[in-house]
C-alpha cells in the first residue's frame, strides 16, 4: 500500500473501479444469487446515488466495494490497486486509509462517547496527535451539528444523532471514497439536507468520491450521477 495522504487523484484515475462483481448469499437450497455482474467506476470529486427496490442487493454491493466482504467473482480496484483479491491485512489497511463507510443502521460503539467514536479511525491510522484527533473530532461533529454533544455516550443519542456521528466518523481520516448506505434514512428533512450539503461540499473541497444509497428522490436528483439497481444489476 502507498502511504500517501488522500490527495485528489487525477480525474483520469477512478477512485474505485469494479468489474463484473458476483455474490451469492445463503447456504444450499436457500442460496440466492444477489449480485449478478456489477460494473462501476467512481471518479474523484463526484457524487453518486444508487436507488433500487428493497432487497435488490444495494447493501451487499456496498460491503463488497468497502472491502468488508469477499466477492465470488470479479475485481475491485481502489485508486488503481487491485484489492478484491488482496490479503486481509492489505484490505484492512485500505479501509483505514482510503474508505469511509456509513452503515445503513448506524453502528457506534455504545461504550464510547460521540467524540471517541469519531476518533477511533484516527487512532488506528495514527497520523495525528491525541490533541489533533480530539480537535478534529470536535470539528467533524460540529459539521454534522453535534458540536455540543461530543462527550455524550453513543447510547444517549437519538437515532438521527447516532447516524450523524457515524457520518462524522466515516470522514475522520479524509477518505478518498465515502460509501454511505442510506445515510439520511433516519434524519428529518432539515438534517437530511444539512448532511447532504455537507457531503457535497466536501466532495468539491477535497475531491472525495461519494457513493450513497438513497430512497430519497429529491436528494438523488442533486447528485452528479444516478444509478438504478434491480435484481443485482445496474439498469439504465
Partner 1 sequence: MLMSLAGIVFGVGFFIVTQAQTSGFEKFYIDTIIGADSPIRIEDRFQLPGVAIKGAGGEGEETDFYTKTDSNRKYTRGIEYPNKLRAAVEDFSDVTAVSEVLQGDARAISSFSEELANVLGIRIKDHLQVTDIQNQIKWGSIDNFRFNPSSVLLSIGLAERLQLQIGDYMLFEYAGETRRYKVVGIFETGISQIDKSRVFMQLGEARALFKKPFGQAFFQIGVRNVEQAGLLAERLEEALNHNVVPWQERERSWLQVFSVLRISSAITVSTIILISGLGMFNTLAMLVMEKTREIAILRSIGYTRQDISRIFLWQGVLVLIAGTVCGWAFGAGVTLAISKLPIKIRGIFTADSFVVNWDINHYIWAAVVAGITVMIASYIPARRAAALEPGTIIRGTSI
Ligand X SMILES: Nc1ncnc2c1ncn2[C@@H]1O[C@H](COP(=O)(O)OP(=O)(O)OP(=O)(O)O)[C@@H](O)[C@H]1O
Contact between 208 and ligand X (CB under 6 A)?
no
Contact between 59 and Mg ion (CB under 5 A)?
yes
> Of Mg ion, ligand X, partner 1, none, which one does residue 57 interact with (CB within 5 to 8 Å by kind)?
ligand X
Please state, in angstroms and rounded to a whole number, the distance separating the CA atoms of residues 208 and 48: 11
> Of partner 1, ligand X, Mg ion, none, which one does residue 56 interact with (CB within 5 to 8 Å by kind)?
ligand X
Sheet holding 16-25, edge to edge: 32-42, 16-25, 73-78, 81-82
Taking CA atoms, 110 is separated from 84, 114, 153, 155, 156, in Å, by 31, 9, 7, 5, 9
Cα 201 versus chain centre, distance: 16
Q: Which is nearer to partner 1, 77 or 107 (CB)?
A: 107
The window from 12-20, 25-33, 64-72, 117-125 that contacts ligand X (CB under 6 A) reads: 25-33
In terms of DSSP bridges, do strands 225-230 and 47-51 run parallel, antiparallel, or are they unpaired? parallel
Contact between 101 and partner 1 (CB under 8 A)?
yes
Give the binding site for partner 1 (CB under 8 A): 25, 59-60, 63-64, 66, 68-70, 88-89, 92-93, 95-97, 101, 103-105, 107-110, 120-121, 124-125, 169, 172-173
Amino acid at each position: 500500500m502507498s502511504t500517501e495522504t488522500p490527495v485528489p487523484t487525477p480525474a483520469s484515475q477512478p477512485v474505485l473501479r469494479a468489474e463484473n462483481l458476483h455474490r451469492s448469499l445463503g447456504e444450499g437450497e436457500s442460496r440466492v444469487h444477489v449480485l449478478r455482474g456489477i460494473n462501476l467506476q467512481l471518479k474523484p470529486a463526484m457524487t453518486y446515488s444508487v436507488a433500487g427496490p428493497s432487497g435488490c442487493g444495494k447493501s451487499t454491493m456496498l460491503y463488497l466495494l468497502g472491502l468488508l466482504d469477499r466477492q465470488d467473482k470479479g475485481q475491485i480496484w481502489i485508486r488503481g490497486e487491485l484489492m478484491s483479491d488482496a490479503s486481509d491485512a492489505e484490505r484492512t489497511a485500505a479501509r483505514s486509509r482510503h474508505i469511509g463507510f456509513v452503515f445503513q443502521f448506524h453502528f457506534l460503539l455504545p461504550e464510547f462517547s460521540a467524540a471517541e467514536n469519531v476518533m477511533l479511525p484516527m487512532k488506528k491510522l495514527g497520523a495525528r496527535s491525541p490533541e489533533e484527533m480530539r480537535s478534529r473530532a470536535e470539528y467533524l461533529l460540529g459539521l454534522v451539528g453535534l458540536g455540543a454533544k461530543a462527550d455524550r455516550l453513543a447510547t444517549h443519542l437519538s437515532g438521527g444523532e447516532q447516524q450523524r456521528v457515524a457520518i462524522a466518523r466515516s470522514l475522520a481520516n479524509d477518505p478518498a471514497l465515502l460509501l454511505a448506505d442510506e445515510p439520511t434514512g433516519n434524519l428529518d428533512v432539515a438534517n437530511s439536507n444539512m448532511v447532504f450539503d455537507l457531503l457535497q461540499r466536501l466532495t468539491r473541497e477535497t475531491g472525495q468520491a461519494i457513493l450513497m444509497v438513497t430512497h430519497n428522490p429529491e436528494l438523488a436528483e442533486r447528485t452528479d450521477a444516478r444509478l438504478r439497481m434491480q435484481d443485482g444489476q445496474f439498469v439504465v
